[in-house]
Amino acid sequence: MGGLVRRSFLALGAAAFAAPSAFALFRSEWAAIGQYGDKAAPLTVFEKDDALHIDGAGHASARLTPTERGRYAIAGGGELALEPRAVRLNGSRLAFHDFGAETEAAIRAGVSADPEALRRQALAATPPVETGDFLSADLVDLTTVDPRIKLDIRYAGANNFMGIPLYERAAAYLQRPAAQALRRAQDALSAQGYGLLIHDAYRPWFVTWMFWEATPPDAHMFVADPAKGSRHNRGCAVDLTLYDLKTGRVVEMPSRYDEFSGRAYADFVGGTTKQRALRAVLREAMVAQGFEVYPEEWWHFDFRDWARYPIGTRTFTELGSK
């Protein structure tokens, strides 16, 4: 799973923690990185300063110090023990959870019942009526902005949280000032060895309607209310990550793209030091060019002038024929 350095918890225990070198021991410890317990208030195990830490259950970024195989003393008091796909905090067992994957599975199950009916309802729905003096849309194809900017448009295929294609083709558009700002961000990132990989940009309003209808209420912070419209609908929001310019490989962040869990939050404490550092590199480059990160999604950035553009309804087929 992207965003985690994970091995099977079945490999933990005496064998994993009897490794002959400190490096091997550390790598085995990384298998515990993740979240445990209750979705509303999980315990997060993460890496910081080459050591495991925990956050939650009354602990704030508390360092774990090994005491014996699979057991740790918690800074500030208490003990944590590792078990297969679980941890035991002061004697209480907390099961491992991939909360994002669990939410995605529930959404996909609901959508798969009748995806075409959902699409028909969305296309028949009416966008909100807006008043105001808006700028005219001037959407730019991001493939024409900078050859270093690459696309991985998840909603053009089935590799997304809905499990179905939403767009007729893989494309990404932004309003011209936002596209120009994105190019400047790419210039700054290139000096650090990174390129931008776009997952989504302009989104027709009917897709926002589908997202809202398919997503359970407790995960609505990850999707826009169609009654208000999305900043994606206005062509001023972009979902993106980094890739290594030398290798072409996408970097690891603290969560997967479109993961509906607390791991997606822009200031999530978990993951590894390197993952959090890369998240900061992306954020700093984007903010410097007039974008702001969406607090619940490290990958989502809104351009400063988003409110000056109206909600867009044009499909990718219509945009491609202009």
Q: What is the CA radius of gyration of the chain?
A: 22
CA 95, CA 42: separation in Å to the nearest integer? 10
End-to-end CA distance of the chain: 39
Beta strands at 237-244 and 43-48: parallel, antiparallel or unpaired: unpaired
Q: Which helix (H) or strand (E) holds 140?
A: strand 139-141
DSSP-assigned beta bridge partners for residue 88: 81, 93
Smallest CA-to-CA distance from 36 within 95, 79, 92, 99 is with 95
Residue position matching structure tokens 């939403």:
166
CA angle 16, 1, 222 (to 5 degrees): 135
**Cβ 241 vs Cβ 257: under 8 Å:** yes
User: Tokens at residue 203, please?
Assistant: 């989104």
| Residue whose C-alpha is closest to residue 179's, from 201, 199, 197 | 201
Tokens representing 118 are 């959902």
Q: Which residues are catalytic?
A: 297
Q: Do 45 and 62 form a contact (C-beta atoms < 8 A)? A: no
Interior angle at CA 254, CA 244 and CA 38, nearest 5 = 165
Give the pairing of strands 43-48 and 51-56: antiparallel
> In the structure encoding, which two tokens stand for residue 80, read together?
């944590």
